[in-house]
Amino acid sequence: MTRDKDPLAFLYPEIEPDASGYLDVGDGHQVWWEACGNPTGVPVIYLHGGPGGATRPLACRFFDPSHFRYVTMHQRGCGQSTPLAETHGNATQALIADIERLRNHLGIARWLVVGGSWGTALGLAYGESHPEACLGFVLAGVTLGRDVDRHWWWHGTAKLFPEAFDALISALPEKSRNNPVTGFHAQLMDPNPAIHLPAARAVCMFSAATVGLSPDPALLERYKNPDYALPLARLFLHYSVNRHFLRSNQLLDELSRIRHLPCAIQSSRYDVTTPPEAAWTLHKSWPGSTIDIVRDGAHSPTDPSVARAMLNAVETIKEQL
């Protein structure tokens, strides 16, 4: 797509990584990382959503390549990391350790922590564990890993998307439909592809139906690929049944460890994946943070209004730093 036809042409151009590799993080996992931009610029770690979603090429376009040294990693079990869709040794605390191991591997003293969706909860958890390693935060599509956040995704969205939710639970045996979290977890952990692949497609298609203001054909096409759909669905359920490996209200309770750092928060009025309440609650708990709730956006960063707000959030932090 040429930039003059690109609805996101206001973002920075996509550039190829100039450094990449696998990092052995233990538990049998090899985590893929890559970097681009100014080698002497302000370091930034971008944390993708999911869990299990992997980083898309779009992510680097939010960062001025002359100013930032952009780094990202595919979290355990997804994207180019191996083994794919593996839940053994896959927990929030392990991901935090992986981020810190990557920072030390690259010789970075402190970096800007940027997260989208699940990446916001992971970014907060990482920052609260390693505040000395953080310059600040940009958090888009905030989730706080609370029970209320999980309950909304699995039950609240059904009130807005009843037909999509019925299609979702129709993939489960009737006896499992009253508790879709445990039902889908059992299906997705089954080693038989005839059982786990239809479940993965059902979960991903429900996500695709609810994530944006209109269907994204590129997203629907990606979900046809089992190497994309299975890690996303299996890890999403693995983290859901384990309450994202966080204590109740942990991220808000420990916010004092990072509240002295700058933070730009972005949310969208019609985001039903991560509703604005979480972003607003975080903003109220973080004096000095900024927040932008996009009037006509949803959850997908490919929505131009959402992408522009995310770019503005990064530029705001860029000026503060």
- Which positions are annotated as active-site residues? 117, 271, 299
Q: What's the first-to-final CA gap in the chain, in angstroms?
A: 33
Beta strands (DSSP E) in the chain are 19-26, 29-37, 42-47, 68-73, 111-116, 134-140, 263-268, 290-294
Which residues, at least 6 apart from 53, have a Cβ–Cβ distance to it below 8 Å? Answer: 78, 117, 118, 232
The Cα–Cα gap between 55 and 47 comes to 8
CB atoms within 10 A of CB 21: 12
The Cα–Cα gap between 161 and 208 comes to 12
In this structure, is the dihedral angle defined by the CA atoms of residues 177, 181, 182 and 188, taken in order, positive or negative? positive
320, containing H or E segment:
helix 304-320
Cis peptide before 57 (omega within 30 of 0): no
Tell me the CA distances in angstroms from 251 to 7, 142, 259, one per residue in order.
Answer: 35, 12, 12
Burial (CB < 10 A; 0-12, 13-18, 19+), residue 217, is exposed
Which residues, at least 6 apart from 22, have a Cβ–Cβ distance to it below 8 Å? Answer: 30, 31, 32, 33, 81, 82
